[in-house]
Structure 1
């Protein structure tokens, strides 16, 4: 036999042995990985899409949504409501003239003038309703309670051109 033939056979055997070894190792690993993964992997929770809230500086709907979100949080923390924060938010977002009118309305009706209710809603949404004169109107829908007993109140929030709230009513300014 020539060296070439012997070398060809030897390299052929080595290749076959190496391929068999790789196949055996590969099959062993591939059958072990699912078993190990099933044994050690925690149960997966259902995948849900994350919620996001966004806004843009200078948009009326964002400004009203920011106000109502912070105001409801300040008033709705039942273990420790923050009256100081609620008052500061009113001072920041409402015009002084409207704040005075609102205080009179609250004394007369016995309800929170921003929420038009004696209690705090469980949900709220703010929807752009477009330009009105030199201002902008945003519809705020407040939901009180839940399920079949939930009640909704629709408020029309009017902002002046400098982004301060000048009125909150239950009828549109259009």
Structure 2
């Protein structure tokens, strides 16, 4: 057997390995094409003096807590959030609604939304109103519900919640 016949299979294997390495090296180095790169990181900001922002902070944290119901701390977290963000009278109203309806009085539902957003809708007489939109499913025609949330401008506590009409 000649040297040439023995080196041909070795050359083919080495060439295949080199091509495979050349194909994966950019991905491992993080130099993939622009189309294959993930979207830029989302940023968030807030202002604790803004009552609409606080309503958004509350709903975001509350939904996170009830969504993670398998975490032993989630129930305590949800209660602590209610205690911090809601006035005493709002907590009583929510509790009464929950006893009557056997559902969550913050979300006005028995399940947890997949998305939420909050928008300022007006203010007057020392209160601001925000509209919370809860999205319950993904897809082309997701189900949404809306909640009107009233906040005290002085304490920034949520003083009333009711399903929007």
TM-score of the aligned structures, taking structure 2 as reference length:
0.75
Partner SS, residue 41 of structure 1: helix
Partner SS, residue 120 of structure 1: coil
Please list every run of at least 4 consecutive aligned residues from structure 1 whose deviation after the TM superposition is greater than 4 angstroms.
Answer: none
What is the rounded CA distance, in whole Å, between the counterparts of 1:54 and 1:129 in structure 2?
Answer: 20
Aligned counterpart, 1:163: 156
Whose radius of gyration is greater, 1 or 2?
1
Aligned counterpart, 1:125: 117
Give the unaligned 5+ runs of structure 2.
1-20
Task: Find the partner of 1:55 among 43, 46, 50.
Answer: 46
What is the rounded CA distance, in whole Å, between the counterparts of 2:100 and 2:69 in structure 1?
Answer: 25
Cα displacement string for residues 117-159 of structure 1 (whole angstroms, at most 9, x for unaligned residues):
1011000001111213210011110011211452101111100
Q: 2:122·2:129 contact (CA, 8 Å) conserved in 1?
A: yes
Cα displacement string for residues 46-89 of structure 1 (whole angstroms, at most 9, x for unaligned residues):
35233222211200111011101110111001432611110011
1:112 aligns with 2:94: no
- With a CA cutoff of 8 Å and minimum separation of 6, indicate the structure with the bigger relative contact order: 2
Partner SS, residue 132 of structure 2: strand
Give the unaligned 5+ runs of structure 1.
1-37
Aligned counterpart, 1:35: none
Partner SS, residue 131 of structure 1: strand
1:41 aligns with 2:26: yes
Q: CA RMSD in A?
A: 1.9
